[in-house]
Amino acid sequence: MGIQERKGREREARKALILCGAEELILERGVDAVNMEDIAQKAELSTATLYLYFSGKDALFKELCDSNTRRFINTVQAQSRPGLSALEQIRMFWLNYLSFYEMSDEHMLIMLNMRRYIAEAFRYISPPEESPERNSSTSAFLYGMIKGMIIQGINEGIFDSATDPDISTRTLLSLFLYIIECIAALPKAERKTLQSIAEMKKVFEITLRGIAAEGVDRSLLTLPELKQHGQEEEEHEKNI
């Protein structure tokens, strides 16, 4: 049993390694330009071996996407505290989004860049029907988290009571995804992280204001800035 377990863990570790390499390649070249051979080479394996770990290209890509989404969800959940207000939650969510984006080797990009490869990917139309339980698909789970926050916000009176939680959730997700996709489409060198972040912030603030209840103080609907790391200071300067 112990052995079996270890084998299992080793297998997972190897899978993770492969995915990690694939990710890097995708970030460098874009999804379309990455093929199984490239991925194998990056992992210092043969193509044939990939098929021992993944049933095929689509499965590999889907798993890559899922694993990143899961990682993000875990990060968010780790910081979630009961008793937070909707706004506090949303701010926390936002901060995690930013830090995940910045600090996680751009896993974010991957997660989103790959939408095309995933049958059950986020769909603007037709929300996932399942309840947001942990065992449902990772994207459905994310959807549920956001929707939950919005509903809470409506209940707390901060969001307009006429707000449709599903539509708002999807609006937010759309923006998440689309922004990231656009960034991912840029050559790696041109991705001006801080400028992007500033822009994202504004976009989300627009949306928050858009769903806010009438009369709510706009200063409440502001998202916090991510405190800057040293090496990015000059670039930061440029963007003021």
Partner DNA sequence: AATGAATGAGATTTCATTCAT
Partner DNA sequence: GATGAATGAAATCTCATTCAT
Pick between residue 11 and residue 229 the one whose CB is nearest to DNA. Answer: 11
In the shown chain, the binding pattern of residues 46 to 85 toward DNA, with x for contact by CB under 7 A and - for none, equals: xxxxxxx---xxx---------------------------
Residue at 213: amino acid letter: A
Share in percent of the chain as helix, strand, coil (round to 5): 70, 0, 30
Q: What mask, x for binding a second copy by CB under 8 A, covers residues 131 to 170?
A: ---------------------------------x--xx-x
236 binds a second copy (CB under 8 A): no
Q: Rounded CA gap, 220 and 240, in Å? A: 22
For 179, phi then psi, to 5°, come to -55, -50
The tokens for 36 are 């199984």
- What is the tally of helices (H) and strands (E) in the chain? 10, 0
For the chain, the distance separating the N- and C-terminal CA atoms, rounded to the nearest angstrom, is 59
**Binders in 4-33 for DNA, by CB under 7 A:** 7, 10-11, 14, 33
Q: Comparing C-alpha atoms, which of 50, 47, 55 is closest to residue 17?
A: 50
Which residues here bind a second copy, judged by CB under 8 A?
Answer: 32, 116, 121-126, 164, 167-168, 170-171, 174-175, 177-179, 182-183, 185-186, 190-192, 195-196, 199, 202-203, 205-212, 214, 218
Which residues here bind DNA, judged by CB under 7 A?
Answer: 7, 10-11, 14, 33, 35-37, 44-52, 56-58
